[in-house]
Chains A and B, each alone.
Chain A
């Protein structure tokens, strides 16, 4: 089995050290995979990504990137470690043009700007047409393209996406998922938090299901898609941890 690109061990994190939201979560993401983190509202999915990104304080556990300990690394240094994170909301610089957003993504890759930009535009051709517009003037789907494009300009090995389909229509969600598989095929590893479990599983290799800050189920996406327990979890039931 391939070594994990991202390994999270028994992570505890939250806004208040005495009330952790993420409670002992362990996940692994291997190179070239798309891994989804699913679960009901308040399960701690977004907090998990924020903690890995250095935006929420980690009180216990470790985060390893390619066996290098990046636990609690300053958020701005994570990009140099080739990890990009796209938040769920406010994920573009609304007052800045699309081109400026992309340029900011390539902050530490100025010498490869043209190459990286070509790769992004090949995946999201509309960005060329929209380049001079302020990102805040774009539709939800276009904004998501800018956010993904900006993250890709950092040439990350690992792309972390927080609810990328939030606010998108079913048609745009399908489009986005297709684009994400193309992003993965371009050489990136993706870990994403999603509410839309069925859609996320349709493009994922594996998934983790969090409930109340703990991972309850993990397994390959195909078997989870047909798992009745997944539906039960979303309804609030809390079966014991199982592995598939």
Chain B
């Protein structure tokens, strides 16, 4: 069982990394960004591009298979993904916001971006799966009956570091305070001298950065496919809603619950129904606590 739970934690880390961007756009821009999965996919493929250019063998990091190449490539990919996201915002979402488009219009626009993004990746890659081509990591026994792959530990550690940096950004910096202010009351934020457009740009960048990390690590753990981000969209939304949509930490907690529930479903022999089991748990939970784990009742 503990082995399954460990897998669940790794899965939760990846879901949470992707879902935070979803939570940030939901709170600051006030719409559900259905293109978040494609941001994750873009991050994974940009990482592949840089890894390919750099070469996978520029250095190793002890027993961790992906080593420095993936980490360095991820940083470059964050810049590329962030740039793409900002261009999409400038060309599509910003003009819609300027015309006071309704939330449903923004959601439909995001759907469009999602479809176009997925098809573009399909067109450019031929739809074939890709791999980062690092050597296959070897599991080691942490204690009898429980084996871990060093890369999985690294994934959880990277996610933990990303969450810690996010915590510092949101709670200890002026930009984080401005993000919270815009999320709560954009008009008062403007009155207060906050440049809401700058805050929105940073929101996209931070969300895209975390999604890129999620995409790269997911790609390393499995494979790169045009649908990889889209397939994670439902768990990401589930984490957002289960955690309480207005609370970033709730989103992380929601991801942990989803990851562990999926792992438990696999452990009890329901791997084919794990999505159904997970959503059954969520539905029951939300019936009891509609505002989510850490959300506030409206």
Question: A residues within 8 Å of B by Cβ?
Answer: 53-55, 74-80, 85, 87, 90-96, 100, 103-105, 107-108, 110, 150, 154
Contacts and interface: CB of A to CB of B under 8 A. Distances in A.
Given A76-B195, A104-B178, A108-B193, A55 B187 contact: yes
A54 to B, nearest CB: 8
B177 A103 contact: yes
Interface in B146-202: 174, 177-178, 180-181, 184-185, 187-196
Contact of B191 (A80, A87, A96, A108): A87
A104 B177 contact: yes
Interface in B117-172: none
Contacts of B187: 55, 87, 90
Contact of A53 (B178, B191, B195, B196): B191
B77 to A, nearest CB: 32
Contacts of B193: 76-80, 107-108, 154
A79 B192 contact: yes
Nearest to B192: A104
A110 B193 CA distance: 13
Interface of B: 174, 177-178, 180-181, 184-185, 187-196
Given A90-B185, A93-B184, A96-B184, A76 B177 contact: no
16 contacts: A53-B191, A76-B191, A76-B193, A79-B191, A80-B193, A87-B188, A87-B191, A90-B185, A90-B188, A93-B184, A95-B180, A95-B184, A104-B178, A104-B194, A107-B194, A154-B192
A62 to B, nearest CB: 21
Contacts of B184: 93-96
B177 A100 contact: yes
Contacts of B194: 76, 104, 107
Contacts of A107: 174, 178, 192-194
Given A87-B188, A107-B192, A93 B174 contact: no
A78 B193 CA distance: 7
B180 A93 contact: yes
A159 B184 CA distance: 23
Nearest to A160: B191
A134 to B, nearest CB: 11
A133 to B, nearest CB: 16
Contacts of B188: 87, 90-93
A225 to B, nearest CB: 31
A100 B185 CA distance: 14
A43 to B, nearest CB: 22
A17 to B, nearest CB: 15
A79 B193 CA distance: 5
Contacts of B189: 76
B21 to A, nearest CB: 20
Of the listed residues A74, A76, A77, A105, the one surrounded by the most CB atoms of chain B closer than 10 A to its CB is A76
Q: Most chain-A CB neighbours within 10 Å: which of B178, B188, B194? A: B188
B174 A76 contact: no
A104 B192 CA distance: 7
A96 B177 CA distance: 8
A105 B181 CA distance: 11
A85 B177 contact: no
A171 to B, nearest CB: 27
A219 B266 CA distance: 79
A13 B189 CA distance: 22
Closest 3 CB pairs of A and B: A79-B193, A75-B190, A76-B190
B203 to A, nearest CB: 16
A53 B189 CA distance: 13
Given A93-B184, A94-B184, A95-B180, A75 B174 contact: no
A154 B196 CA distance: 17
B98 to A, nearest CB: 13
A53 B185 CA distance: 16
B197 to A, nearest CB: 9
Contacts of A108: 193
A93 B186 CA distance: 10
Contacts of A77: 193
Nearest to B182: A93
Contacts of A53: 191
B180 A96 contact: yes
Given A76-B191, A76-B193, A93-B180, 9 more contacts: A74-B190, A76-B194, A79-B193, A90-B187, A90-B188, A96-B181, A103-B174, A104-B181, A150-B192
Contacts of A154: 192-193
Given A76-B196, A107-B174, A107-B178, A93 B185 contact: yes
Contact of A55 (B180, B191, B192, B195): B191
